[in-house]
C-alpha cells in the first residue's frame, strides 16, 4: 500500500459560531475512512475581532507565516464585523486572500429538495477576487454641477484567464464527482461566462474574450461554454436555477450572484465557499459569526462540512470530498437530524454525529 498522504491544515475558528463549526470540520476530517489513506496534521491559528481586541491586530503575522510555511490548506470560521467602524480593524479574510493570492472565490449552491421546477439545484459560482471595481481606486471632485465621484473598474487578461481556467477545471471535476452519485439533470459539464460587454465593451469585453480563449483549450473540449449578460443571468438564475452548472464572473457580478444564489437554498447554514489560489485553498462557510445563536450548540455545521469537502477538492482529494458531500446529502435527505435554521430540533453535535455515521 502506498504511504499515506499527510495534509497540514490550519484551523482558524475566528469569532462567534466559528468556534462551534470549525471543530466539526476537524472532526469530519479525522473521521474519514482509513481506506482513503489520508492523514491530517492540524495547526490552531488565530484571527478575528476577538483577536484584534486582545492583540491589536485581526490577523497576526504568525497566522499568515504558518499558513504560508507549514500548511497545505485551511479552514476559516467567521469573523464578526463591528457595526461601526473601529480604528485599525480590517477584515482578516480579505487580507488573507491578498497575502496568499487566493484569486478565486468559489461558492457551490446545492439543494437536494428541488427547485420550483422540482429539479435539484446544483451550481457553483466562481468569482474573480482580485480586481474589477474592488481595486478601490476612487476619487471625488467638484464638477461644474456639483460633486462627482468615480471608481476604476480594472480587468486584466491574466486575472480573467486564470479565473476562467479554474472554472473549467471545476466543471470537469464536478462532472467526475457527480457521476459517482448522479443528482443533476445535466450530463455535460458547462461553464456560463457572465459579463456586460454590450455596455462595457472594453473591460467586460476583455473578460469575455479572454474567458472564451481560456475555455477553448483542448482540455476543456468536453465542456459546453456559453455566455450570458449579467442582468438576464440574474433573471434566469432565479427562474431556472437547475439549468446552471458553473458560472464564472468578474468580481462585482460574482459578489452579487453569489449572495443571490445562496438565497435559493433556504439557510445560510448550508452554503460553503472556498478561497482558492494556485497552491492553497481555504474552506470557509458563507455565513457570519451569528452572535444571536452563539454558544448554544445550535449552529448548523453543514456549511462548514461542505467547505471542508470543497477544500479537499482543491487539494486534489476528490474521493474524500465526494464521501463528505454524500454523507451531508444523506443527512439532509433523511431530514431526521436537522438544526433549528432548517426547521429541525437537532443540535450542532447531533447533526455532525448523523453525518459522521453516514461517512
Ligand atoms: P456577522 O456580522 O458576523 O456577519 P451577522 O449578525 O450578520 O454576523 P450572520 O452570520 O451573517 O450574522 O447570520 C445571519 C442570520 O443567519 C443570523 O440570524 C444567524 O443566526 C443565521 N445563521 C447564520 N449562520 C448560521 C448557521 N450556521 N446555523 C444557523 N443559523 C445561522
Ligand atoms: Mg452577516
Predicted pLDDT at 116: 55
* Residue 109 · residue 265 · CB < 8 Å: yes
- Ligand 1 neighbourhood includes 120 CB (under 6 angstroms): no
Among 78-87, 120-129, 302-311, which range has the highest average pLDDT? 302-311
Mean pLDDT of 174-189: 70
How far is the C-alpha of 227 from the C-alpha of 204, rounded, in Å? 12
Pocket test for ligand 1, best of 80, 287, 289 (most atoms within 8 A of CB): 287
Whether 166 shows a pLDDT value over 90: the answer reads yes
Mean pLDDT estimate for the chain = 93
Predicted pLDDT at 103: 97
Percent of the chain surpassing pLDDT 70: 96
How far is the C-alpha of 300 from the C-alpha of 352, rounded, in Å? 9
How far out from the chain centre does Cα 121 lie?
A: 16
How sure is the predictor about 140, in pLDDT bands with cuts at 50, 70 and 90? very high
Mean pLDDT of 165-181: 85
For 341, residues 6+ apart whose C-beta sits below 8 A from its C-beta are 267, 268, 269, 300
Structure confidence by residue, pLDDT tens digits, 3-42: 899 999 999 999 999 999 999 999 999 999 999 999 999 9
Residue in the structure block whose three cell numbers are 479552514: 75
Mean pLDDT of 116-129: 85
Lowest mean per-residue pLDDT among 20-29, 206-215, 252-261, 290-299: 252-261
How sure is the predictor about 263, in pLDDT bands with cuts at 50, 70 and 90? confident
Structure confidence by residue, pLDDT tens digits, 203-240: 999 999 999 999 999 999 999 999 999 999 999 999 99
* Ligand 2 center–CA 309 separation, angstroms: 23
How sure is the predictor about 175, in pLDDT bands with cuts at 50, 70 and 90? confident
- Give the β-pairing of 190-195 and 246-249: parallel
Strands (E), the chain: 5-14, 38-44, 73-78, 104-110, 122-128, 138-143, 146-151, 190-195, 224-229, 246-249, 274-276, 281-283
- Ligand 1 neighbourhood includes 306 CB (under 6 angstroms): no
- Ligand 1 neighbourhood includes 289 CB (under 6 angstroms): yes
Mean pLDDT of 294-308: 98
How sure is the predictor about 181, in pLDDT bands with cuts at 50, 70 and 90? low
- Ligand 1 neighbourhood includes 348 CB (under 6 angstroms): no
* Ligand 1 center–CA 289 separation, angstroms: 6
Predicted pLDDT at 120: 81
* Ligand 2 center–CA 55 separation, angstroms: 24
How sure is the predictor about 297, in pLDDT bands with cuts at 50, 70 and 90? very high
Pocket test for ligand 1, best of 58, 290, 308, 328 (most atoms within 8 A of CB): 290
- The one-character DSSP state at 120 is P
- Ligand 1 neighbourhood includes 303 CB (under 6 angstroms): yes
Predicted pLDDT at 82: 81
Predicted pLDDT at 177: 78
Amino acid at each position: 500500500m502506498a504511504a499515506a498522504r499527510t495534509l497540514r491544515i490550519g484551523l482558524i475558528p475566528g469569532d462567534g459560531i466559528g468556534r462551534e463549526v470549525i471543530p466539526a470540520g476537524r472532526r469530519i476530517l479525522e473521521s474519514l475512512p482509513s481506506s482513503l489513506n489520508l492523514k491530517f496534521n492540524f495547526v490552531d491559528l488565530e484571527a478575528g475581532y476577538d483577536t484584534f481586541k486582545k492583540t491589536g491586530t485581526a490577523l497576526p503575522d504568525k497566522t499568515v507565516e504558518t499558513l504560508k510555511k507549514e500548511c497545505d490548506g485551511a479552514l476559516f470560521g467567521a469573523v464578526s464585523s463591528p457595526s461601526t467602524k473601529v480604528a485599525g480593524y480590517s477584515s482578516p479574510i480579505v487580507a488573507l486572500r491578498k497575502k496568499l493570492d487566493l484569486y478565486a472565490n468559489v461558492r457551490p449552491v446545492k439543494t437536494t429538495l428541488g427547485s420550483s421546477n422540482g429539479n435539484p439545484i446544483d451550481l457553483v459560482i466562481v468569482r474573480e477576487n482580485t480586481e474589477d471595481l474592488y481595486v478601490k481606486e476612487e476619487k471625488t471632485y467638484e464638477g461644474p454641477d456639483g460633486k462627482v465621484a468615480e471608481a476604476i473598474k480594472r480587468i486584466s487578461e491574466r486575472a480573467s484567464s486564470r479565473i476562467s481556467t479554474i472554472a473549467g477545471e471545476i466543471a470537469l471535476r464536478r462532472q467526475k464527482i457527480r457521476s459517482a452519485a448522479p443528482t443533476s439533470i445535466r450530463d455535460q459539464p458547462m461553464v456560463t461566462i457572465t459579463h456586460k460587454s454590450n455596455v462595457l465593451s472594453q473591460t467586460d469585453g476583455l473578460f469575455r474574450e479572454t474567458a472564451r480563449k481560456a475555455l477553448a483549450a483542448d482540455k476543456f473540449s468536453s465542456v459546453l461554454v456559453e455566455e450570458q449578460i449579467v442582468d438576464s443571468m440574474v433573471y434566469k438564475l432565479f427562474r431556472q436555477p437547475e439549468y446552471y452548472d458553473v458560472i464564472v464572473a468578474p468580481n462585482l457580478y460574482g459578489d452579487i450572484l453569489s449572495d443571490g444564489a445562496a438565497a435559493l437554498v433556504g439557510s445560510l447554514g448550508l452554503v460553503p465557499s472556498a478561497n482558492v489560489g494556485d497552491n492553497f485553498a481555504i474552506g470557509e462557510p458563507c455565513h457570519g459569526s451569528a452572535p444571536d445563536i452563539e454558544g448554544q450548540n445550535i449552529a448548523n455545521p453543514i456549511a462548514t462540512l461542505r467547505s471542508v469537502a470543497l477544500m479537499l477538492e482543491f487539494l486534489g482529494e476528490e474521493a474524500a470530498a465526494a464521501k463528505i458531500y454524500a454523507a451531508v446529502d444523506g443527512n439532509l435527505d433523511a431530514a431526521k437530524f436537522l438544526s433549528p435554521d432548517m426547521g429541525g430540533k437537532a443540535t450542532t453535535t447531533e447533526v455532525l454525529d448523523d453525518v459522521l455515521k453516514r461517512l
